[in-house]
Amino acid sequence: MSASSFIPFHRASVGQEEIDAVSEVLRSQWLTTGPKAHQLEKDFAEYVGARYAVAVNSCTAALQLAIDAIDLRPGDEVIVPAYTFTATAATVIHSGAVPVLCDSKPGEFNLDPESVASLISPRTRAILPVHIAGLPCDLEAVHDIAEQNELHVIEDAAHALPASFQGRKIGSVSELTAFSFYATKTITSGEGGMLTTDNEAYARRARCMRLHGISGDAWKRYSREGSWFYEVEDAGFKSNLCDILAAIALAQLKKCERFAEQRRAIAQAYIRGFDGEEGLEMPPESDRDHESAWHLFILRLRPEELEISRDKFISELKSLGIGTSVHFIPLHLHPYYAERWGYRAGDFPNAEDAYSRALSLPLFPDMDRETIDRVISSVISLVRTYRKSQCFIHG
């Protein structure tokens, strides 16, 4: 990348393998769910260590199927972090259940188990933790709370491929886990997702509900082994993953480990590069029990050290040719959650503090050393330009 070019916040790493994979599917004339989706499910389940993987067209769909599998009833409550993307809570709402928002841990993005515990009511049925930026949240505490109160746990792992908690890959830890292959995620098929579970009944239900609620191997009904006869068991969804996209996801899954190493190296370069800058706060640390997928590198500014707002920091970085984003605007600050569910600014102080100071730096596997260094030097030059004066007037 030349010194003057714009460094985007994200760029997908797709190459000849993905192009060839799509061509092969197109030439085969089998375009919808078929052998590629089937293979993807097998490979994915094996990769994360889950018994079953169900391929779908988004993480949102995987969450919807997970919520359907645990059979929520109208009025049931599900605890969802305020610090997440709207899809996490919207899928709960579509089932007729109530999303009960919880706060983040002080100084972190991930949910605070104490906040979760304080929100349990007789109507609570499930907890829906999210692993922000790819760093596993405190799943041990979440599972303890769930066991004590007989609750389900559904993980939103849209950021967490591949991540591990206490040495176990995310996707093999809780009853149900939802992954995303959206364009900006760690592996992508443009749009796509996966639901993993060890529970045979959940897997069977999800396979049926993702394709109109039709029983059996519905996708085979147009193939030689298929039959025209089918039975509808329930009012299903339409969220199967087509083979064109499954083939892309298969090619990406093969590169998943390499991508993860590249992401980790970029994150480490950022942490080293920003060392000693008092105006900057690094993301919560990955450790042996919480191995991050480094989907995002969320930098936080320290307003007590800097004379520049987060918003201005972002626009100044943009004028230096560096794209960033903000993950996330907490749900309760959006008009819908405020108006429909009665939340207000001030309800979740830790989430608000994190949000007010956060910006996500460029982080994608194909970043070269020069690009990484340009991001580091641009951030540092802004921090130094806007550093609060070190001189104090004693009076």
Ligand X SMILES: *Cc1c(COP(=O)(O)O)cnc(C)c1O
Q: In which residue are the tokens 């029990």 written?
A: 289
> Known catalytic residue: 185?
yes
Catalytic residue chosen out of the listed positions 36, 105, 185, 238: 185
User: Applying CB under 6 A, which of residues 88, 110, 124, 262 lies at the interface with ligand X?
Assistant: 88
Q: In which residue are the tokens 């797709």 written?
A: 14
Read off the tokens for 48: 């994360």
Burial label, 134 (beta-carbon count in 10 A; 0-12, 13-18, 19+):
buried
Q: In what order do the strands lie in the sheet with 358-361?
A: 280-281, 297-301, 358-361
- State which residue, 18 or 277, has the beta carbon closest to ligand X: 18
- Asked if residue 109 binds ligand X (CB under 6 A), the reply is no
Q: CB-based contacts of 126: which residues, under 8 Å, 6+ apart? A: 67, 70, 72, 76, 78, 79, 151, 152, 153, 154
- Asked if residue 93 binds ligand X (CB under 6 A), the reply is no
- Asked if residue 84 binds ligand X (CB under 6 A), the reply is yes
- Asked if residue 180 binds ligand X (CB under 6 A), the reply is yes
- State which residue, 78 or 383, has the beta carbon closest to ligand X: 78
- Asked if residue 196 binds ligand X (CB under 6 A), the reply is no
Which of 361, 372, 373, 379 lies closest to 10 in space, CA to CA? 361
Q: Smallest distance from the beta carbon of 346 to ligand X, in angstroms?
A: 23
Q: Smallest distance from the beta carbon of 161 to ligand X, in angstroms?
A: 12
**Pairing state of beta strands 297-301 and 358-361?**
antiparallel
With the C-alpha atoms ordered 239, 240, 245, 246, is the resulting torsion angle positive or negative?
Answer: positive
Q: Smallest distance from the beta carbon of 160 to ligand X, in angstroms?
A: 9
- Asked if residue 155 binds ligand X (CB under 6 A), the reply is no
- Asked if residue 60 binds ligand X (CB under 6 A), the reply is yes
**Residue 380, CB-side half-sphere exposure with 13 Å CA sphere:** 14
- Asked if residue 158 binds ligand X (CB under 6 A), the reply is yes
Alpha carbons 60 and 185: distance in angstroms, whole number: 13
Q: Which stretch binds ligand X (CB under 6 A): 53-61, 256-264, 345-353, 357-365?
A: 53-61
User: Applying CB under 6 A, which of residues 12, 87, 211, 299 lies at the interface with ligand X?
Assistant: 87
Q: Smallest distance from the beta carbon of 89 to ligand X, in angstroms?
A: 10
Is the preceding peptide bond at 362 cis, omega within 30 degrees of 0? no
User: Applying CB under 6 A, which of residues 30, 182, 230, 386 lies at the interface with ligand X?
Assistant: 182
3-state SS track over 246-311: HHHHHHHHHCHHHHHHHHHHHHHHHHHHCCCCCCEECCCCCECCEECCCCCEEEEECCCCECCCHH
Q: Which stretch binds ligand X (CB under 6 A): 113-121, 154-162, 249-257, 308-316?
A: 154-162
Alpha carbons 47 and 41: distance in angstroms, whole number: 10
Q: Which stretch binds ligand X (CB under 6 A): 58-66, 147-155, 277-285, 339-347?
A: 58-66
Q: Smallest distance from the beta carbon of 58 to ligand X, in angstroms?
A: 3
User: Applying CB under 6 A, which of residues 193, 283, 284, 330 lies at the interface with ligand X?
Assistant: 193
Supply the residues annotated as catalytic: 185
Residues that bind ligand X (CB under 6 A): 58-60, 84-85, 87-88, 130, 156, 158-159, 180, 182, 193
